[in-house]
Structure 1
Amino acid sequence: MDIKALSAVQKYAASRPATEPNASQGGAGDAFQSLARDFATTLQESENIAKAAMTGEADPHALVQALAQTELAVETAVTVRDKVVEAYQEILRMPV
């Protein structure tokens, strides 16, 4: 193997970790993942309470509270989605 090729391979291997994402930094991806997990948990809990209310195992107050939490979570998700779409459209309108 040529010395120059070996040197290039070693330099590439040394620079590669700088271009890989760092899992310990925790960025927006982790925040969105956490929000999505919380959203799914809220929906699942509300569904379980609704099922329990239909069988008479949960009181109506708990059902109303669960439905209110679900409504708030869905409205928040829709608002975030609208903002993301709006930002994406704004980026598409930018001149290159």
Structure 2
Amino acid sequence: MADNMMASAAAAYAKQAQEMNNLPTLDSTKQAEEGGFADLLKEAVQEAASIGYKSEAMSLKAAAGQADVNDVVTAVAEAEVTLQAVTTVRDKVIQAYQDIIKMPI
């Protein structure tokens, strides 16, 4: 039992490490800037939606008994963090818009 849990934890750590290696580099950020803010925002929203769908799919697999609980918890936590980030960005954009509206002309 303990060996199974350690192997599962090691697999989850390896998966997370692989995802961390796939973070955008400075070059990919420059390419995104060249495409414009709208393209960058569109890609971010699509990625957030994709993470949410992945979380839902893992939850459904777990309900059907086809997924490991660790994978489900990881997917749900990732979706939660993504939702918090999207909400924070939305709040900052609304605050910036309100600050611009309050500026005297």
TM-score, normalised relative to structure 1? 0.73
Structure 2 CA distance for aligned equivalents of residues 48 and 56 of structure 1: 12
Structure 2 gap ranges (5+): 1-33
User: By how many angstroms is 1:71 displaced?
Assistant: 0.6
The structure with the largest helix share of the pair is 2
Structure 2 CA distance for aligned equivalents of residues 59 and 26 of structure 1: 39
1:48 lines up with 2:57 in the alignment: yes
Cα-to-partner distance string for 1:7-30 (whole Å, 9 max, x where unaligned): xxxxxxxxxxxxxxxxxx510011
TM-score, normalised relative to structure 2? 0.67
Structure 1 gap ranges (5+): 1-24
Cα-to-partner distance string for 1:39-95 (whole Å, 9 max, x where unaligned): 110001110000000110001101100011001100000000010010011011101
Q: CA RMSD in A?
A: 0.7
Question: Which residue does the alignment assign to 1:61?
Answer: 70
Question: Which residue does the alignment assign to 2:36?
Answer: 27
Larger RCO of the pair (alpha carbons < 8 Å, separation 6+)? 2
> Which has the larger Rg?
1
Question: Which residue does the alignment assign to 1:79?
Answer: 88
- Percent of residue pairs identical: 36
Give 4+ residue runs of structure 1 displaced > 4 Å after superposition.
Answer: none
